[in-house]
Structure 1
Amino acid sequence: MGVLPRPDVVPYIAQWSEERDPQTTVVARRGGIGYADEIVHDRDEDGVLWARSTHRPGKGRPEFGKVHGLRQRRAMRRLLCQVCAGPADLNDNGVLWLLGEDPHNPASWPEDLLTSHPPLCLPCAATSVRLCPHLSRRYVALRVREFYLAGVWGTLYRPGFPQPVVADAAGIAYDDRRLRWLRGHQLIMRLETFTPVDLTSETG
């Protein structure tokens, strides 16, 4: 069997096959969970426990269905394009986001627009709707003026013996007490004030 060529476009936040999560032991700690060998860098300034991951972009095969948690967090916090890691596009109408919603039926959109997908720059947005199987079927482009980090998506645990046990995968708001029982994988952004735009017109 021949070697398949690597794709030309691999999103910055995509995980690579040689980026494996190190083995960790989750224990009960401080009314929630922690690591048996926890270090200060395992938590962020909000006290959220984050999944550990190795950082080896470009090594192995891109795994498009998986997101590298550390790069996703960096892109969200710094408003970087999720594909190229450059600055996300910003104009007078706001920052550019793409969502996989029906552009012709806004009534079907969820009341709370929450996303774990970082924003994009214009060139990468145009590439994404052409190459991404999900977005090629349907997408809406938004210019977002007001937004804020609302919570964390990850693995939710519950008390168990002798160690906490996995309960579910969940998105948990920052003001939810269950956040202490979450091992975070991705940040969640709430898109508050936005305007749908024609991406084709914007990209010229």
Structure 2
Amino acid sequence: MPDHPVPYITQWSAEQAPHLRVVAKGRGIGYADERPYDRDSGGVLWTRVPSLPGKGRPEFGRVHALRQQRAMRELLCQVCGCPADRDSDGVLWLMGEDPRDPGFWATDLSTTHPPLCMPCAATSVRTCPHLRERYVPLRARAFELAGVRGAFYRPGYPQPVATEVTEVAFGDPRIHWLRAGQLIMRLSEFTVTSLESRAA
């Protein structure tokens, strides 16, 4: 086992998605043996994956679709699964961008990474190789679920063909051709913050 926490949203080796036949269905795609829980309340098709956290080996870099979705919807820490840190300035998020890049500040920010609690954010910047190089802690006051990231399909014979992994906004008709794996959150009002402990 690793010497640091396995993030709540990390997929484990026992949580392999079964091979499912994707078929043309309605205005897009579906599963040949589709079940009611394969789609969310908005009708988006999701990757069907078992939930067996702690079974097998953690597959760092791979995200468990259902836990990521839950963390985004309920604002749970992506590392420990408890409520994310929130104060009068907003909810805590860590962005892995370079703040010196002018494009970082040009528009609303979108991310597939759920928020964090303060202790897990501090641990993450020490243990994650990507975040050790650069990160921006933000407090977001206004945010909304904006779309999904996943495998995009095009019509094909005898069944639709996966062409790329991409992001599609809610309201875009192409979303019916996407098998979602992660929710996207748009942060529209935010301020840069610090990961230092706040005074009591």
Output the CA distance in 2 between the equivalents of 1:191 and 1:202. 23
Q: Which residue of 2 aligns with 1:169?
A: 165
- Give the structure 2 partner of residue 101 of structure 1: 97
Q: Secondary structure at the match of 1:118?
A: coil
Q: Offset of 1:200 from its aligned partner? A: 2.5
Give the AA of the match of 1:36: A
> Counterpart in 2 of 1:135?
131
Shift of 1:8: 3.2
The equivalent of 1:150 in structure 2 is: 146
Q: Is the 8 A contact 1:94 1:144 kept in 2?
A: yes
Report the residue type matching 1:126 in the other structure.
A
Report the RMSD for the aligned CA atoms in angstroms. 1.4
Secondary structure of residue in 1 paired with 2:196: helix
The CA distance in 2 between the partners of 1:155 and 1:81, in whole Å, is 25
* Residues 1:34 and 1:71: Cα distance change in structure 2 (over 3 Å): same
Give ranges in structure 1 of 5+ residues lacking alignment.
none
Q: How far apart are the structure 2 equivalents of 1:6 and 1:120?
A: 20
Distance 2:29 2:175 in 1: 10
The aligned residue for residue 121 of structure 2 is 125
Instruction: Give a deviation string over 1:7-65, Cα, whole Å, max 9, x none.
Output: 33100000111110011000000010000000111101000000000111111111111
Moved over 2 A (4+): 5-8, 200-204
Q: Offset of 1:80 from its aligned partner?
A: 0.2
Counterpart AA for 1:112: D
Q: Which residues of structure 2 form unaligned runs of 5+?
A: none
Aligned length: 199
What TM-score comes out, normalization by structure 2 length? 0.96
Q: What CA distance in whole angstroms lies between the structure 2 residues aligned with 1:55 and 1:23? A: 16
The answer on whether the counterparts of 1:123 and 1:203 sit within 8 Å (CA) in structure 2 is: no
Aligned counterpart in structure 2 of residue 89 of structure 1, from 85, 104, 110: 85
The normalised TM-score by structure 1 is: 0.94
What does 1:182-201 correspond to in 2, within 5 Å?
182-200=178-196
Which amino acid counterpart does residue 85 of structure 1 have in structure 2?
G
Other-structure match for 2:10: 14
- The whole-number CA distance in structure 1 between the counterparts of 2:159 and 2:52 is 31
| Aligned-residue offset at 1:202 | 4.1
- Report the Cα distance in structure 1 between the residues aligned to 2:129 and 2:103, rounded to whole angstroms: 21
- What percentage of aligned pairs have identical amino acids? 60
Letter matched to residue 181 of structure 2: H
Partner SS, residue 131 of structure 2: helix
Query: Does the 8 Å CA contact 2:4/2:127 hold for their aligned counterparts?
Result: no
Counterpart in the other structure of 1:67? 63
Contact 1:48 1:180 in 2 (8 A): yes
